[in-house]
Amino acid sequence: MGKYKVDISGCDTSNLITLSSDEMKVLFQKLPTDSFARELLIQGNLRLVLSVLKKFYNRSENMDDLFQVGCIGLIKAIDNFDLGYEVQFSTYAVPMILGEIKRFIRDNNSVRVSRSLKDIAYKSLKIMNDYYQKNGYDISYLELAKILDVSEFDVYSALNAMKDPVSMYEPIYNDGGDTIYLCDQIVDSSIQHDFSDKLSIDDAIADLEKREQYILDQRFVLGKTQMEVANELDISQAQVSRLEKKAIKELKKVLR
């Protein structure tokens, strides 16, 4: 994409009109009875959509699709805006454009999420936003669960289900040495299924160092993350990863 022009099919973004505050005010006053005023408001605010699209340049979604969806958010903002709000139109419109695009991305996510989970997630996000605006800090999952009359696990599952998929080769930690990738942890965590089928597992684990035993217990029995274990042991996540791999390697030798 060029510096001064964004390539959107059917739209020459380098020649978009820009409306002044006074022109916007006049058009909004005409809006109820003048359809041409609505068209001018849409054309004169397309740059708002483009400004929001900058947040999504590095994503895999088609920019043409996101632009069209963003325009829907813009139109909704125009149709619902009231001069009595005493705020700039852009202040009102940008969150609506952004919300429309985010909903589109969530609904078209390659990972399918049930409608019930989506409903819980959408309600949770709204409550979380309202709560933070009012109190200045985040609401807990437990409080969210009580408000929505669901379990805390349902809230946690719903919000996590709406997150974007992460590449298996996403770097998750680097302390100056070898980079730890997500696939490293996935491979390690799958080994626990083999362990459960070995009758000699207890003896094999007993031969490990106490710290290695503790790491395996916290990671594969209690399901804690490497970072959580690292904080408890006051060591780096990279050290936890190396000790974990070392312990698993020793267990493999015994269980083969």
- Lowest average pLDDT, out of 59-68, 125-134, 234-243, goes to 59-68
Spatial separation of the C-alpha atoms in residues 70 and 233, rounded to whole Å: 47
Residues 218 and 224 sit within 8 Å (Cβ to Cβ): yes
Given this model, what pLDDT does residue 188 score?
46
The Cβ-side half-sphere exposure at 238, using a 13 Å CA radius, reads 9
Residues 117 and 158 sit within 8 Å (Cβ to Cβ): yes
- Residue spans of the domains in the chain: they are 7-107, 115-161, 171-255
Question: Identical fold at 7-107 and 171-255?
Answer: no
> Over pLDDT 70: what percentage of the chain?
72
Residues 54 and 1 sit within 8 Å (Cβ to Cβ): no
- Closest by Cα among 186, 132, 119, 101 to 159: 119
**DSSP letter string, 223-239:** ---HHHHHHHHTS-HHH
The model's pLDDT over 176-205, given as tens digits with 9 standing for 90+, comes to: 656 665 555 554 444 444 444 444 566 677
Residues 145 and 155 sit within 8 Å (Cβ to Cβ): yes
Q: Quote the distance between the C-alpha of residue 53 and its chain's center.
A: 16
The model's pLDDT over 133-142, given as tens digits with 9 standing for 90+, comes to: 888 888 888 8
Candidates 1.20.1250.20, 1.10.10.10, 3.40.50.150, 2.40.440.10; correct CATH number of 171-255?
1.10.10.10
Spatial separation of the C-alpha atoms in residues 228 and 218, rounded to whole Å: 9
The whole-chain average pLDDT of the chain stands at 77
Candidates 3.20.20.70, 3.30.470.20, 3.55.40.20, 1.20.120.1810; correct CATH number of 7-107?
1.20.120.1810
Across 5-9, average pLDDT: 49
Given this model, what pLDDT does residue 74 score?
92
Residue 171, token pair as written in the block: 């770097």
Spatial separation of the C-alpha atoms in residues 202 and 200, rounded to whole Å: 6
* In CATH, 115-161 is 1.10.10: yes
